[in-house]
Structure 1
């Protein structure tokens, strides 16, 4: 039996998808919000965590990274394999998922059969990449911003001030301003607002 933890913050989506997976004879599914996910991992000890690649993680310590950093090896803290749900036109989340060492990638527009196939592959320790996400991965490789710069810009896009960003990321305000200057230069933007607009348009945020 493959133990699966489905992580999503939209209740109807979470439970509808759990209902689909629960029909499979070899899959035992549980569900959690991103807030509860790490505690549920320790309680359920899933083989696979299915997570939306676009789950919020502006600080770089979001759910994908938290799950990937769970203690590896033997015992209840063993890290489950990660399978993410992504979109080809959103390369930023795909890159964050890759950096979090996700093993499986399924297009959000794929059929349930594709998802269950991915879960079985990942549970067996094999990489699974939905073919329709190939272009998204090519775009992800071309993102000019580093993960830290994306974290800064994500917080800025949420309306956080320089001092608030500094507090969340444990940086000095001067360092945050340097990051914003680099972001503006790399994106070819006129200012911070323009950098956010460009990055959203490119699917980096």
Structure 2
């Protein structure tokens, strides 16, 4: 049995999502409002925390999730429901340690499979959200380093890349 703690501030949406999730094979749904996550956790450990980035107070929910610790000392797997046109929300979810990114416009028939996957230690990113998530991720490489990788991807060898870099620097690029 996979236990999902659904945190949402809008009662109708919370009840609807709980009902939908509850139809999944092997899923038990518990619910909580913003500010009540710790209280809900005292009733037993969930396998996954799920929230909606569009719900009022979503930022507060993510902040609260970052402060709770699972009995094993780590964090609870966090999944977020969102849209691809919400890159800031994706970034905040990433910073909160989200392992699951679920597009709200996706088919719902495999939602319980996603919850099981996260409960088993996996990750999930809907394809429609992947590009948006990459856009907001930290990029540790400089533009010059990215251009070098691009040259390598085009098939240039080390000598060819070096020659292009020297030519570019001589032309002030």
TM-score normalised by the chain length of structure 2: 0.71
Report the RMSD for the aligned CA atoms in angstroms: 2.0
Greater share of helix residues, 1 or 2?
A: 1
The CA deviation string for residues 35-72 of structure 1, in whole angstroms up to 9 with x for no partner, is: 222211222311101111245266xxx22232232124
Are 2:113 and 1:122 equivalent residues in the alignment? no
Q: Residue 94 of structure 2 corresponds to which residue in structure 1?
A: 98
- What is the number of equivalent residue pairs in this alignment? 137
Q: Residue 133 of structure 1 corresponds to which residue in structure 2?
A: 129
Note the residue ranges of structure 2 that are not aligned, 5 or more in a row: 139-173
Q: Residue 51 of structure 1 corresponds to which residue in structure 2?
A: 51
Q: Residue 10 of structure 1 corresponds to which residue in structure 2?
A: 10
How far did residue 80 of structure 1 move?
2.0
Q: Residue 66 of structure 2 corresponds to which residue in structure 1?
A: 68
Name the CA shift for 1:120/1:9 in 2 (closer, same or farther; >3 Å). Answer: same
TM-score normalised by the chain length of structure 1: 0.61
How far did residue 78 of structure 1 move?
6.3
- Which contiguous aligned blocks of 4+ residues in structure 1 show a shift greater than 4 angstroms? none
Name the CA shift for 1:79/1:134 in 2 (closer, same or farther; >3 Å). Answer: closer
Note the residue ranges of structure 1 that are not aligned, 5 or more in a row: 143-205
Distance in 2 of aligned mates of 1:39 and 1:73: 15
Distance in 2 of aligned mates of 1:57 and 1:115: 20
